Structure 1
C-alpha cells in the first residue's frame, strides 16, 4: 500500500490543475491515468480540432475571391500530411504542457485503471496496469477528474453501421467524399465546416435549430454561411433509423422532418450529439459517491461529493464542459479540500465560444433567459456592416447583440457572430463582471479598426442611429 496526501484520477486540465495546486501546498500527490496523458483537450479535443479548423480556414481563404487583385486557388488536401502535422503539434504540446510538468513538479504518475475499493470511511484505489498487475493506493483525499466522452443517442441501426465521433474524426487518413453530421451544437457545427472546407460534401441533421443554446440570430447567420459554403442544413430533423446500403456502401439516415420521412445518404456519418461523463468502472458506489442520471459525479457548489474524502472536477461533474472550467475546478477543489477555503465558482459570466468561421461567442444571459429571470429587457442587434473592422475584412456576416436591463441599463448578456468573436466575448465578460451599463460602455475608449469596437458601437446604438456615424466617430 502506497500512501499519499492526494490521489488524482485522470490527467487532463482539471487533474493537472489539482495536482499542481496540491504540490504548491506541500502535498504528496499521485496521478493515475489509464490512457494517454493530457486528457481530452490536448489529445482529441480543443488542440487538434482547432488546429485542423485553422488549416481548413487557410484553404478556404486561399480560394476566397473577396479581395480584388488577389489570386485564388485551392488544391486538393493531402489529409495524411495534414493529420501528421496535427499529431506533431499535439505531441509537442502534450510533452511540454503535461508530461514534462509531472517531472518538474515531482508527483508520481501511475499508468493503469483506477477503481475505488475499501469502505466509504476508508476509501482506497486499486490500480491495474496493462499487464494485469495491481497496485494499492491510499490517500487522505481523492479527486475524480476522468472527463467525458462522445455520446450517441439510441437510434435504430446506429451501432451496426459504424460512425465517426469528434474523437475518431480527428484521426482520419482519407477525406470523406460525403459526410452526414448528426447534431446542431458547437462540435457538430465546427466539424461540419471543417470537413466541408477540406473538400467533403456535408449535410447537417439538427434536431432543433443550429446553436440552439444561443441567441436565435446566431443560428440564422451560421445557417446562411453554411448555405454559401455548400453545406446542406436540415433543422427539426429527428433521426429514426440508420442503415448501410449494401450496394453502394453508403450510410442511409432516415429522419423525420415536419412529419415526413426522408432519407439522406453519405459515405460517412459523424455523430456529434454531446458528451457524457466517464464514471463507469470507477466503483463509486462502493465508497458512497452519488452519481447522477447521466453518469455525472454529483457535487456540491464546493465540488465535494457525498463522500467527504472524495472530490470531483471538470466534465465528470456535469458542469459546463470547457477546459478553462476544469482548470478552475482543480485549484478550487484542492483549496476547499485541504484548507477549507470554501471557494465557490460563479458561472454567471462564463464565456462560451463556437469556433466556426465566423465564430459564435457569448457571455451572460440571452434575451430569452433574461426575460425568464424577470428582467425587463432592452436589446440591440448591431449588424456587422456597422463595424469598420468587418468592412475592412470584407466580411460583414454576423452581428453584435447586447441584452440590457431596461430599468437600470445594466448589461446582462452579449453575443457576437464575427471573425475572432471569442475576443469580443472575453471583453464582454469583463464588462459584465464589472457591472457596467450601456451608457458606460458607449463612452469607453476603444481602438479603431478592432472587432471589439463592435461592442461599443452596439452600446451606442441604444441611443444613436449608428448608420449616421462617421466611421471614426467615437
Structure 2
C-alpha cells in the first residue's frame, strides 16, 4: 500500500508521557499522526500518579514544618488543615497539566480521538464509535493499571486511582503493599494525622532498594507511629453500616478497623481488551507487550513504549522510549535507550533515592567491593527535636575504584541524587568524589566526605 493510502503514518493508542512524546516528535519529523485516549491526556503520571502524589507530599510536609517553626522563633496560631482545599488544589493542577498536554498535541497538529481504540489488524484500529482507521505504524502506549488483589470484600478497597478524590480525610487508613506507592501514601496520611497501618504479605518492603536504606526507613516510619504487619495475607473485608471497614488478616485474631483500605500491590500492563492477541502480538505472563530493543513487537507494524512493556515502569523511561521510537522510525536516527544506572526515588517521609547497584548486587557481580557510608543527623532536623538520621552509602568496585552505586535516605535525597547519578553513569571513581571540595554546610557534602 502506498504512503498516501494510509489514513495516518502513525496511530498512537494512549496519550500518556510516552505516547504524547512519540506523537509530538513523529509529527515534528513530518509524519501524519493521530492519538486515541479514552480518559484524559497526560497519562498516569500527570493525572493520577507521580505529579499529584508529589503535591500531596508537599502539602503534608507543612504539618512537620509548622511544628518546627516554633523552634526557629515563629509563632503559628490556630493551626488547622483542610483536606478538601488541598485535594481541590491538586486536582486543579491536574486540569492545568491536562490542558498543557492537549495544547502540545494541538500545536504539533496531532489529531486527537477522545475515545477508546482497539487493534483489529496489523495496520488498523477501531474507535469506540465504530470508525476504523488505518496507519502505517501503530504504537501501543496504554501504560499500566493498579492490581486489585482477590479476596472477599476487595471491592470495598480503593487504589491509587481513587485516592486523590477522597471526600474527607480518613482517620484510619490501612494500606496493602509495601512498595513505593504504598509507602509514599503511608507518609502522606501519617503526616496529615491519620492512623496508618501498612499490611504486606511478605516481610520485605521496597524490594530492589539497598537493605540499609530499607531498614532505616522502617525504623524512622515506625517511630513516626506508622504500624506494620508483615506476612499477613488478606482474608476478607467487611463493610459496616457506618461505612467503616473490618479487615481480617491471616494469622491475626483481631480485625483491623479502618475508614479506608488502599491497595497498592503493584501495577499491571494495561492491555486487556486491546485486541493485540487477536492480531498476533505476543504478550508476556503479566499481559506486557513483548518488544525488541527498538520497541517493535513480533508484528512489524506495531510498536510499544512505556509501562505497557513492563521493562521499567518510570515516566522518564516512557518519554525516552517514545522519543527514540519517533526518531528512529520517522527521523532516520538510530536512537537507543540505555537501561543501566537509572536513578529512582521514593517520596516517603523521609525520602530515599538510589542509582546503580545495591551492595548485594555489587558483591554478586564484582566479588570484592568497598562500601563507604555517612550516618548523620541532618542540620534541618536539629531544631525539630527529631532523632532521625540520614544515611548515605556508596558502593565501589575494589579493583577499579569505580562507583557502582549510591544510595541515600534523608531530607531532599532525590534532589541531591540526580546530580550524583550523572557521576555514576559517567563511571567516575571514588577518588573523583574525594577530590571534589565539599559545599558546606549542606547535606550533599556528605557525598564527598564518605569514609
- In which range does the TM-score fall when normalised by the shorter chain? over 0.9
Query: What CA distance in whole angstroms lies between the structure 2 residues aligned with 1:394 and 1:315?
Result: 41
Give the secondary-structure state (helix, strand or coil) at the position aligned to 1:401.
strand
Q: Tell whether the 8 Å contact from 1:63 to 1:73 is kept in structure 2 after alignment.
A: no
Give the secondary-structure state (helix, strand or coil) at the position aligned to 2:9.
strand
1:59 paired residue among 60, 63, 77: 63
Give ranges in structure 2 of 5+ residues lacking alignment. Answer: none
Q: Tell whether the 8 Å contact from 2:174 to 2:260 is kept in structure 1 after alignment.
A: yes
Q: Tell whether the 8 Å contact from 1:237 to 1:255 is kept in structure 2 after alignment.
A: no
Give the secondary-structure state (helix, strand or coil) at the position aligned to 1:176.
coil
Deviations 1:278-325 (A, max 9, x none): 011111012221111111101112111111111101110102111111
Q: Tell whether the 8 Å contact from 1:304 to 1:312 is kept in structure 2 after alignment.
A: yes
Q: Tell whether the 8 Å contact from 1:253 to 1:263 is kept in structure 2 after alignment.
A: yes
Q: What's the CA shift for 1:262? A: 5.5
Counterpart in 2 of 1:86?
90
Counterpart in 2 of 1:221?
216
Q: Tell whether the 8 Å contact from 1:296 to 1:318 is kept in structure 2 after alignment.
A: yes
2:206 paired residue among 206, 211, 223: 211
1:28 aligns with 2:40: no
Give the secondary-structure state (helix, strand or coil) at the position aligned to 1:237.
coil
Query: What CA distance in whole angstroms lies between the structure 2 residues aligned with 1:69 and 1:388?
Result: 17
Q: Tell whether the 8 Å contact from 2:146 to 2:264 is kept in structure 1 after alignment.
A: yes
1:357 aligns with 2:361: no
Counterpart in 2 of 1:242?
236
Counterpart in 1 of 2:335?
343
1:108 paired residue among 99, 106, 111: 111
Query: What CA distance in whole angstroms lies between the structure 2 residues aligned with 1:348 and 1:393?
Result: 38
Query: What CA distance in whole angstroms lies between the structure 1 residues aligned with 2:446 and 2:380?
Result: 8
1:177 paired residue among 171, 174, 198: 171
Query: What CA distance in whole angstroms lies between the structure 1 residues aligned with 2:195 and 2:383?
Result: 30
Give the secondary-structure state (helix, strand or coil) at the position aligned to 1:77.
coil
Q: TM-score, normalised by structure 1?
A: 0.88
Moved over 4 A (4+): 387-396
Counterpart in 2 of 1:194?
188
Query: What CA distance in whole angstroms lies between the structure 1 residues aligned with 2:140 and 2:159?
Result: 24
- Select between 440-449 and 275-284 the one with higher mean Cα deviation: 440-449
Give ranges in structure 1 of 5+ residues lacking alignment. Answer: 462-474
Deviations 1:70-123 (A, max 9, x none): 445673422222211111111112212x011122111100111111113x4xx2
Q: TM-score, normalised by structure 2?
A: 0.93
CA root-mean-square deviation? 2.2
Deviations 1:17-53 (A, max 9, x none): 1011101211110011111111111111111111111
Counterpart in 1 of 2:294?
302
- Over 3 Å counting, the alpha-carbon distance change for 1:74 and 1:457 in structure 2 is farther
1:143 aligns with 2:135: no
Give the secondary-structure state (helix, strand or coil) at the position aligned to 1:37.
coil
Query: What CA distance in whole angstroms lies between the structure 2 residues aligned with 1:66 and 1:376?
Result: 49
Deviations 1:339-377 (A, max 9, x none): 564433222110000112221100000001112223321
Q: Tell whether the 8 Å contact from 2:290 to 2:297 is kept in structure 1 after alignment.
A: yes
Give the secondary-structure state (helix, strand or coil) at the position aligned to 2:142.
coil
Counterpart in 1 of 2:160?
166
Q: Tell whether the 8 Å contact from 2:403 to 2:430 is kept in structure 1 after alignment.
A: yes
